Amino acid sequence: MNIIAFKAIHKFHEKHPRTQNSLRTWYTILKAQTWVKPQDAVLTFGQTNVDILKNNRLCINVKGNEIRIVLSLNYDKNTAFIKWVGWHKDYDKLGDKIHTVNSTIEKK
């Protein structure tokens, strides 16, 4: 899997060092994948750790569901774009915005 916007993961674990090992493990697993449909993510990470969202997006639980990562996927190009990384409690506050959120783009 090609992963775009890894900087979002890096910034998160720099701010929260205790998440580094879990995020590194998640990244290593994702990098080794070739997915052709959303259900492939479920097979990789487990049914309780993946939410299939609208707009070719997935939310994956990391670190025992403490962290959530939202990905936008292009299955034809085997590419995942990291759209959002945060704590579960912050994910819950996003509501319907989760289908269009794009916090990896820096605001000027």
Q: Give residues with Cβ within 8 angstroms of 79, minimum separation 6.
A: 1, 2, 3, 4, 73
- Say which CATH topology domain 2-99 has: YaeB-like fold (3.30.2310)
Q: Where are the domains of the chain?
A: 2-99
- pLDDT tens digits for 10-24? 999 999 999 999 999
Supply the pLDDT for residue 108: 36
SS3 49: helix
Residues of the chain with pLDDT under 70: 97-108
Supply the pLDDT for residue 105: 41
Residue indicated by tokens 């259900």: 39
SS3 52: strand
Supply the pLDDT for residue 93: 84
